[in-house]
Amino acid sequence: MNMLRGLIKGAVVAKVIQVAQRELSKPANQRKIKDGLNKLSQSRRKH
């Protein structure tokens, strides 16, 4: 039973990583991430 759970967890993690890589490869998402990081760094400089 524990082995089955481990296999299922591994498969879920692999799928999450696959989806994340696919989404991060899209130019629109890359732009959103850059904009968000810029806003974050600007707000940290003000404090």
Q: Could you report the per-residue pLDDT of 1-47, keeping only the tens digit for each?
A: 899 999 999 999 999 999 999 999 999 999 999 999 999 999 887 76
The reported pLDDT for the residue numbered 47 is 65
| Number of folded domains that form the chain | 1
42 within some domain: yes
13 within some domain: no
HEC string of the chain equals CHHHHHHHHHHHHHHHHHHHHHHHCCHHHHHHHHHHHHHHHHHHHHC
46 within some domain: yes
6 within some domain: no
Domain extent, residue 41, equals 18-47
Global pTM value: 0.61
